Amino acid sequence: MSNDFIGFIGGGNMTRAIAAGLVEGRYPAEDLLIAEPAIEQRAALARDLPGVIIEESNQDVARRASTVVLAVKPQVMRQVCEEIAATVQKAQPLIVSVAAGIRSIDIDAWLGGGLAVVRVMPNQPALLRLGASGLFANERTTEEQKKRATGIMSAVGHVVSVDSDADIDSVTAISGTGPAYFYLLIDMMIKSAQNFGLDPQAARILTIETAKGAAAIADAEDETMQSLIDRVRSPGGTTTAAFESLEADHVRDIFARAFEAARDRAVGLADEANKD
């Protein structure tokens, strides 16, 4: 077994993004393995990721890799883990899961126990290497292994370490689900602009560029978000009128309940995954 091989179980979009990011970061393509059962998908992976080793068998990848990235749908995670359990028990690779709603303790149990398991919650912008991922490493994971997992996920964006599996459920509700919250606001702003009479293309450009600019300022400044709001808001002005309307409708409470609902559903998905 190579000390350098990173093996992906599942050849979907997240695997493509991570593998492409690693290669772009000068990780040797020949040290990346991808297991994908669908022949058409294997052909597409081979075309899009030249030099990466594409296999049909999960077992072959698990046998050769020192780091195994589980990138399959949550519904089949248990089946996949049990299929490769004997192999990983012998090889003892670092296990990294990017599947939503599956706890590290369950992955470890399905793989036979006693393994270093890192659970990661990436989000959709990782597909453009602009992701924000939460990462939890179990107690068997060494600092070197945690650093390796962080390096892998850094190929598609920022990585933040958290202290527990439960924290990953919170990450799921915020950064995992988060892009959809922003899409909703962007959609509402575009539609309002069109209702005001703006051309659809102008409405889209103005809204998206505003979102990009606001995110850039929020990232660049050390001020609180309330302070940044106050810099836009002036007494008796348009922003004040807008915020008075939002506050009258208790918009913060509405979103807080939505975030909590997402977090609770993440917990529920993890519970459901562990049912026999």
Q: Between these two residues, 270 and 74, which has the higher pLDDT value?
A: 74
Give the pLDDT confidence score for residue 273 in this predicted structure.
Answer: 76
CATH T-level assignment (fold) for domain 178-270: ProC C-terminal domain-like fold (1.10.3730)
Domains 6-171 and 178-270 share a fold: no
Q: Residue 218 — very low, low, confident or very high, per pLDDT cuts 50/70/90?
A: very high
Give the pLDDT confidence score for residue 176 in this predicted structure.
Answer: 95
Give the pLDDT confidence score for residue 1 in this predicted structure.
Answer: 36
pLDDT tens-digit series, residues 87-144: 999 999 999 999 988 999 999 999 999 999 999 999 999 999 999 999 999 999 999 9
Tell whether the model's pLDDT for residue 211 goes beyond 90: yes
46 by Cβ neighbours in 10 Å (0-12 / 13-18 / 19+) ranks as middle
Mode of pairing for the β-strands spanning 117-121 and 131-137: antiparallel
Instruction: Name residue 134's beta-bridge partners.
Output: 121, 160
Q: Residue 276 — very low, low, confident or very high, per pLDDT cuts 50/70/90?
A: low
pLDDT tens-digit series, residues 161-203: 999 999 999 999 999 999 999 999 999 999 999 999 999 999 9
- CATH superfamily entry for domain 6-171: NAD(P)-binding Rossmann-like Domain (3.40.50.720)
Give the pLDDT confidence score for residue 123 in this predicted structure.
Answer: 96
Q: For the chain, what are the domain ranges?
A: 6-171, 178-270
Global pTM reads 0.91
